[in-house]
Amino acid sequence: MNSKEQTLSIIKPDAVERNLAEKIKEKFLERKLTIKNQKKIQISKEEAAEFYKVHQTKPFYDRLCNYLSSGPIVVMILEGENAISINRKIMGATDPQKADKGTIRKEFGISIDKNSVHGSDSQDNAKKEIDFFFN
């Protein structure tokens, strides 16, 4: 079933640093997602820890929080039909080595940590993540 959704997208420090933000935004626009709101910010380690708290028991949690707070990021609200799943298709698998050809992570990702983008994985998380950055 089709329905208009919003999802949160983050262009991570590795991609911002390599000036890939505009190229990445093009990928969303090509697939009929619109950018409803966006800002370039840098967050603290504490904010990163709050944002990623679903991963707090994972062995990579500390590394992940250090990384997301290590440099500027671009956070965006993407909107469109089935925006959550479309965005995940455009991003590709978490590990760039396993991502399909043409996806953002395949083209631009460096490693599982420096995988260039984050996207919400469910309607529940999309709402929480949008609130986190925009309310």
Which span (31-39, 81-89, 110-118, 123-131) binds ligand CMP, by CB under 6 A? 110-118
Looking at 118, 120, 126, 133, which residue is catalytic? 118
How open is the CA angle 60-66-67, to the nearest 5 degrees?
85
Looking at the Cβ atoms of 1 and 124, the one nearer to ligand CMP is 124
Q: Write the single-letter amino acid at 87.
A: N
Catalytic (active site) residue 118: yes
CA atoms within 13 A on the CB side of 15: 29
Instruction: Pick out residues in 31-60 that bind ligand CMP (CB under 6 A).
Output: 55, 60
- Rule CB under 6 A: is residue 94 a binding residue for ligand CMP? yes
Are residues 21 and 131 in contact, defined by beta-carbon separation less than 8 angstroms?
A: no
Q: Which residues are catalytic?
A: 118
